[in-house]
Structure 1
Amino acid sequence: MAKDTKQYLIFGVGRFGSALARKLSEDGHEVLAVDSDENRVRSIAPYVMQALQMEASDEEGVRSLGVRNFDAVVVSIGDNLKNSILMTLTCKDLGARYLVAKAADEAHARVLEKIGADRVVFPERDAGIRLAKTISSPNVRELMSLSGGFTLEDVRAPEAWVGHTLKQLDIRRRYNVSILLISRNGEAPITPNADTLINRGDELLVLGMQDDVNNVERLVQA
């Protein structure tokens, strides 16, 4: 196993659990996916290290998985409160190092926290909040604050930059920011070099101090 490879155990591979399992696997981690539904297990099997069919009530079966050996355990059974709570309790009793549990609502979340979940997530609610922020700010689509006053923002390419290369624009010197990635036409982001041409509609992942990134945003609005 590579030095940076981690091992994850995911219970419940519905929409959220399967997306998480596939992404972790794509990133080079080892994923054991478990679900009571045979069809879900069959669907996720090609994308993970191992997929097993198992009922949440099968404590001996869960024990045999070696829960304490995984870097993190995810209980993604938000649509069945009883099974979600039972699995969370079982995994904590078996020594789960770090446990993330999916909640259906606030009441469910409070129970999960009380019985030991290290983190509780609301995938649909969180996605809704994120989408609201995105569509209410058409130019700055996503923001991440970093230490030292730096920020990462996904900004649409200013019209004045279209048709020019990064070298021609001299962005680092003129604007004191760096373009880390460029997304275009719904394709996978590319890492730009000095000769990369800016196209209309490009989305740029910009790194810089907040004031400097704000100056780039103003160019978009101009």
Structure 2
Amino acid sequence: MKKEFAVVGLGRFGGSICRELAKQGMDVLAIDMDEDKVNEYADIATHAVMADSTDENVLKSLGIRNFDHVIVAIGDNIQASILTTLMLKEHGVKNITVKAQNDYHEKVLNKIGADKVVHPERDMGKRIAHNIASNSVLDYLELSDEHSIVELIANEAMDGRTLIDLDIRAKYGCNIVAYKRGKNIAVSPQPDEAIHKGDILIVIGMDKDINRLEKNLLNEPI
């Protein structure tokens, strides 16, 4: 069965989510106070309505409790974001993801029961910073305050060596969970498989351990 989503707030973040969900064939209700934005997404979302998400009667009339997941992507109006989240919880929405403007906003959202809080600008900033600070890092995904997944490019020092030879888990406390070679991807690679220069390694571990591995890849032969 197709899941039903509602996106509240059609700025850059909410609009992007709305477009991607629609591309995936999901049923999407797009909600915003701005008539122009609602009209923009009328042909993209399954339904697009101009509505005040802080109005309990409006949410009830939209049948918001029947949606599988509601994304609150309200821009700068923190009060509206918090009130909308509260209303959604009171209506029994199962999954609520909310965009936070800052750490204080996040704390409040967590206290009132948001299932997931995201910081799109902060998180993208971290990914870009990791990417431009290291020639070996292609992408970066934060799992928690201390753990991440990164894509690293294998260098000459790793070329032709097996995972046993490299012994990355023992040396750095990181795990290579997969690697990409051209169009092929190997998940849970065998320890006797050789790494080639240019392979993209998917590495999971603590940030401090991944940082040591990055520095080694860039500066010292393994």
TM-score normalised per structure 2: 0.67
Match of residue 119 from structure 1: 116
Cα 1:45–1:156 change in 2 (3 A) is farther
Runs of 4+ in 1 over 3 A off after TM superposition: 143-146, 151-159, 175-182, 203-210
Match of residue 97 from structure 1: 94
SS in 2 for 1:45: coil
* Contact kept in structure 2, 1:154 and 1:205, CA below 8 Å: yes
Match of residue 108 from structure 1: 105
Match of residue 15 from structure 2: 18
State the Cα deviation string for residues 132-178 of structure 1 (Å, max 9, x = none).
111112222115699xxxx975455879xxxxxxxxx9x9xxx9997
Match of residue 133 from structure 2: 136
Match of residue 9 from structure 1: 6
* Contact kept in structure 2, 1:75 and 1:102, CA below 8 Å: yes
RMSD after superposition: 3.7
Structure 2 CA distance, aligned partners of 1:121 and 1:208?
23
Displacement of 1:208? 8.0
- Determine if the alignment matches structure 1 residue 27 to structure 2 residue 20: no
Cα 1:181–1:94 change in 2 (3 A) is farther
Gap regions ≥5 residues in structure 2:
167-175, 186-197, 206-212
Aligned pair partner of 1:85 in 82, 98, 101 = 82
Letter in 2 for 1:19: S
Structure 1 CA distance, aligned partners of 2:26 and 2:155?
37
- Determine if the alignment matches structure 1 residue 67 to structure 2 residue 64: yes
Q: Superposition pairs for residues 146-157 of structure 1, below 5 Å?
A: 154-155=151-152
SS in 2 for 1:117: coil
Gap regions ≥5 residues in structure 1:
160-168, 183-190, 194-202
- Determine if the alignment matches structure 1 residue 41 to structure 2 residue 38: yes
Structure 2 CA distance, aligned partners of 1:84 and 1:177?
38
Percent identity (aligned): 38
Cα 1:180–1:71 change in 2 (3 A) is farther
SS in 2 for 1:46: coil
* Contact kept in structure 2, 1:67 and 1:91, CA below 8 Å: yes
* Contact kept in structure 2, 1:152 and 1:206, CA below 8 Å: no
* Contact kept in structure 1, 2:137 and 2:150, CA below 8 Å: yes
Aligned length: 189
Cα 1:135–1:83 change in 2 (3 A) is same
Displacement of 1:114? 1.5
Structure 1 CA distance, aligned partners of 2:100 and 2:17?
15
Cα 1:77–1:177 change in 2 (3 A) is closer
Displacement of 1:78? 3.7
